[in-house]
Amino acid sequence: MKSVPSVLLSRLIQERLRAEDCVKRGWVLDGIPATREQALMIHSLGIIPRHVEIYHTTFDWPPESEIQDRLVVPAGISELETAQKLLEHHRNIVRILPLYPKILKVISADQPCVDVFYQALTYVQTNHQSNAPFTPRVLLCGPVGSGKSLQAALLAQKYGLVNVCCGQLLKEAVADKSKYGEVIQPFFEKEMAVPDGVVKKLLCQRLSQLDCVQRGWVLHGFPLDVDQARMLTGRDHTPNRVFFLNVPLDSIIERLTLRRTDPVTGERYHLMYKPPPTMEIQARLLQNPKDSEEQVKLQTDQFYRKCAELEQFYEQAITLNGDQDPYTVFEYLESGIINPLPNKVP
């Protein structure tokens, strides 16, 4: 009998875990992941468990003689078959365990079943400590080149948040040829803006996935104006921390217009901060048309023209100077997440 492909199995599990009973009551997953490939696959679908438990079983013999008498030996558990299964298990498990470093508990099942159950129950009922004081839903706003992507990556790394880049989300939908991707593709081909309604549906779908609900998220690239901001209001999509990264036009031009890409290796350089090592490489570097001074000025102007209304919409937003060392900016962001929101003076 052939095994079910990991891709199909992961999709079926994803569909089941999205059901209302699983979302409200929680779930216990057994039998998958059996391999590192499956573990990575379910991670990519947003299936992130809160607890991971490993058992090693020996036996559980029924005390009633009547039950003992009618027991039969199932197929596939001969000594040779069992040894093969154990060997395969141990080969895979050592590659799966590193994926769950902070939520893993190993329980020896070579003890009474009741003891195994209560050890597992105690662990499941334990609230894991988090670096964040609440489930963060962080929104980073700022002009192109303000460092939103870097700060989002740093926050995601430290606090375990899901990094949601709106632009990347659109590209992935097209690459996956999903139902939204088919709608988005024509706009990409014509280099036109994707309609807000389509972006909202795709974004809300992502923010509703289990990893975003459980771990929190940091969003950048959307909203760009008040109308888009209103679309995020409601359910679990309203951000509880909003930051505006302000960077002057001169600094943005310096950051973006000096970026170059090596068409041979794909390596990215910056003529000031990360210059190419040789003149040969420098001679073949290319500039993305979007990084031209004209385009950078246009995009920056478009953001700041709508920025005032957006800041007014998010009354509790925190404005930061993004024109400084990235790790200094990150410290300010951390402070804004950990500390209570400031009271606005009317």
| Mean pLDDT score, 19-23 | 73
Query: Tokens in use for 96?
Result: 């799966």
Q: Give the C-alpha separation, 185 to 86, whole Å.
A: 47
| Residue % of the chain over a pLDDT of 70 | 80
Give phi and psi for 165, each to the nearest 5. -100, 120
DSSP 288-303: -GGGSHHHHHHHHHHH
Q: Give the C-alpha separation, 15 to 18, whole Å.
A: 5
Give phi and psi for 331, each to the nearest 5. -60, -40
pLDDT digits (tens, 9 = 90+) for 112-157: 766 767 677 776 666 554 455 568 899 999 999 999 999 999 999 8
Report pLDDT for 346.
Answer: 45
Instruction: Please give the C-alpha separations between residue 341 and each of 105, 114, 298, in angstroms, as whole numbers.
Output: 36, 47, 33
Q: Give the C-alpha separation, 121 to 125, whole Å.
A: 6
Report pLDDT for 221.
Answer: 93
pLDDT digits (tens, 9 = 90+) for 32-66: 777 777 777 776 666 766 665 555 444 455 677 77
Instruction: Please give the C-alpha separations between residue 275 and each of 261, 288, 291, 293, in angstroms, as whole numbers.
Output: 11, 16, 17, 19
Least confident of 35-44, 170-179, 302-311: 35-44
For the chain, give every domain's residue range: 6-124, 137-338
Q: Give the C-alpha separation, 261 to 268, whole Å.
A: 5
Q: Give the C-alpha separation, 336 to 318, whole Å.
A: 7
Report pLDDT for 14.
Answer: 77
Instruction: Please give the C-alpha separations between residue 317 and each of 70, 109, 238, 243, 336, in angstroms, as whole numbers.
Output: 69, 51, 13, 6, 10
| CATH 3.20.20.70 for domain 6-124 | no
Query: Tokens in use for 304?
Result: 């700041």
Question: b/e string for 89-101 if b means 16 or more Cβ within 10 A?
Answer: eeebeeebeeebe
Q: Give the C-alpha separation, 221 to 219, whole Å.
A: 7
Least confident of 98-102, 103-107, 237-241: 98-102
Report which of 207, 97, 155 is spatially closest to residue 337, judged by C-alpha positions.
155
Angle between helices 179-189 and 166-175 (to 10 degrees): 110
Amino acid code (one letter) for 117: F
- Other CB atoms within a 10 A radius of the CB of residue 208 amount to 15
Strand runs labelled E in the chain: 52-57, 104-109, 137-141, 162-165, 217-220, 241-246, 259-261, 268-270, 318-321
What band does 214 get if pLDDT is binned at 50, 70 and 90? confident
Burial class (CB in 10 A: 0-12, 13-18, 19+), 180: buried
Whether the CA torsion 48, 102, 217, 133 is positive or negative: it is: positive
Query: May I ask the CATH class of domain 137-338?
Result: alpha beta
**Topology agreement, domain 6-124 and domain 137-338:** yes
- DSSP reduced 3-state for 271: coil
